[in-house]
Amino acid sequence: MDANDMGADLKEVLITPEQLHQRIGELAAQIDADYAGRELLLVGVLKGAVMVMADLARAMHLPAQMDWMAISSYGSGTKSSGVVRILKDLDTDITGTHVLVVEDIVDSGLTLSWLIGNLRSRGPASVQVCVLLRKPMAARMNVDVAYTGFEIDDSFVIGYGLDYAEKYRNLPFIGTLAEHVYRLDAD
């Protein structure tokens, strides 16, 4: 799927596949340097972080382990409800482990703040966060993010794992969705 396949549903491409690839490589190099000599567990947050987690792990040179969590605070809407549910928990005991949470986007910060608190309560050596996208203007909670791919405005974005109603995750770029798509669903 590419921009042409979306037709009028795509408002604009914000971040190209080439920009994503380059920035993921830069993040991987920084993580490799920061965690040199330590064992690292990457914790991807399903479903949105699948693309960034896979590309980040492949770009890293450290022999990192991977695990996944699925949490929900959105339902089928475009804004976080603030109520967090664990849909799939870790398979790994993280006691004494260096954990790097890999997330697709930080919007309000409510869900990620809750997740970090939950993981820290499990006794890891450390918990840090790597996010592909951050919306500083939308933040309602200040979340300490160690690695940020891109800061963006408060637009509704899709692609590279990000969805609207479970669609558009497979786009190789980050784009904005035309308002008529989600306005129809609100009517």
Task: Collect all residues with Cβ–Cβ distance below 8 Å to 164 and sequence separation of at least 6.
Answer: 78, 156, 158, 177, 181, 182
Q: Are 102 and 42 in contact (CB under 8 A)?
A: yes
Q: Give the CA distances from residue 186 to residues 76, 107, 166, 179, in Å, rounded to whole numbers and listed in that order.
A: 11, 20, 16, 11
Catalytic residue among 107, 144, 154, 163: 107
107 is catalytic: yes
What residues act catalytically?
107
